[in-house]
Amino acid sequence: MAGQKTVPTSTDIDSFIAAIPDERRRADAQTLVELMGRVTGEPPILWGSMVGFGRYHYRYASGHEGDTFLIGFAPRKNEFSIYLSCLEASENEECADLFARLGKHRMGKGCLYVNKIADIDLNVLQDLVRVSIATIERMYPSK
């Protein structure tokens, strides 16, 4: 079986963010680092091209298991991918309300996509991060 592809690296976060070509996107990435760091109380760690905070171990019913970050984002070329575990808004009234108030975004299978941070309400995003962390902690309690 192949090893896990997404693993933490020792790459410096400040250097990673400084390498983002667009000034606005660099500032937006820094805003996300500050928000997620404040909510989690964890330092940012680069997992490939994704900035992650915290860590948890998951195990699926299939037996597949691994470690990944608790919450994170990736500064892609045209938008930010924000990794949350509160994406099934139809199954969670609190999440549905938060997404309705978030601002301009789109949803993917496992990501929230945001073009620029000015398009969204950061207080709502902060609440989504908190709900996502609580969801993960319920699904995968630490031993």
Listed residue (45, 42, 38) closest to 13, CA to CA:
45
Q: Which residues of the chain have pLDDT under 50?
A: 1
- The CATH code of the domain at 24-139 is 3.90.1150
Q: Decide: residue 28, CB within 10 A, 0-12 exposed, 13-18 middle, 19+ buried.
A: buried
Percent of the chain with pLDDT over 70: 92
What pTM does this model have?
Answer: 0.89
Structure letter (DSSP) for residue 118: G
Q: What is the pLDDT of residue 3?
A: 54
Exposure on the CB side of residue 61, measured as CA atoms within 13 A: 0
